[in-house]
Amino acid sequence: FFFRFGRRFESPLLWQSIIMIITMLLMLKLCTEVRVSNELNIKRRSFAAADSKDEEIKAPPKRSYLDFDLNYFWHWSKFTDYVQCVLTFTGVTGYITYLWLDSSLFVETLGFLAVFTEAMLGVPQLYRNYQNRSTEGMSVKMVLMWTSGDTFKTVYFILNQAPFQFSICGLLQVFVDIAILLQVYLYSSYPQKPASHPVHTASAKAL
């Protein structure tokens, strides 16, 4: 989104970015609600200043400027904490972009980092499939939609001579999608024993 201020590209790409941001926020809201409802640990984790309410300890609420623990980064208890983090990131990035808008090196780097981050969306799923030696529970239809959408998008980038960041990262995104589809084929045709994971003491105690 900020890349467009430094280097103009076609409006459909801008709208695609806005729709993607809104969609990801909605997915994040859903994931947060589901995870918190299944969580055994009821301690409140937050991004910004808030009254700390731990139901396990009957103590006066403590107020901190930033109830922030790197061990729990992006594992907060409420969707509003994620929104605050995203808004903070947007504000800081927007201000830096405003200061460096005249630098072509900064603008090109910003564009690459933005599109590269989007291209890596499928990598966590790819890595988890590799760890589990299985694609069970993953929506194959979703990956097929990813692949078809990313393919059409990349062809659009190339045909319309979009900034090179879009074309390169679009191709990378297609390769990641194809790699996930290959995992689906391999793990369904040649089932493997799931990789063993160490049992965490805290989890065992909670159970």
Q: What is the mean pLDDT of residues 100-116?
A: 90
User: Which CATH topology does 103-189 take?
Assistant: Monooxygenase (1.20.1280)
The confidence band for 30, taking pLDDT boundaries of 50, 70 and 90, is: very high
Q: What is the mean pLDDT of residues 115-121?
A: 89
* Per-residue pLDDT at 55: 43
Is a pLDDT exceeding 50 seen at residue 65? no
49-85: buried (b, 16+ CB within 10 Å) or exposed (e) per residue?
A: ebebeeeeeeeeeeeeeebbeeeeeeebbbbebbebb
How far separated are the first and last CA of the chain, in Å rounded?
45
Instruction: Choose the weakest-confidence range: 49-58, 63-72, 130-139, 147-156.
Output: 49-58
Beta bridge partners, 52, equal: 62
Is a pLDDT exceeding 90 seen at residue 96? yes
Q: What is the mean pLDDT of residues 35-47?
A: 69
Instruction: Choose between 103 and 189: higher pLDDT.
Output: 103
Cα–Cα distance measured from residue 189 to residue 40, given in angstroms and rounded to the nearest whole number: 36
Average pLDDT, the chain: 79
Per domain, the residue ranges of the chain are 10-38+78-102, 103-189
Instruction: Choose the weakest-confidence range: 16-20, 39-43, 199-203.
Output: 199-203
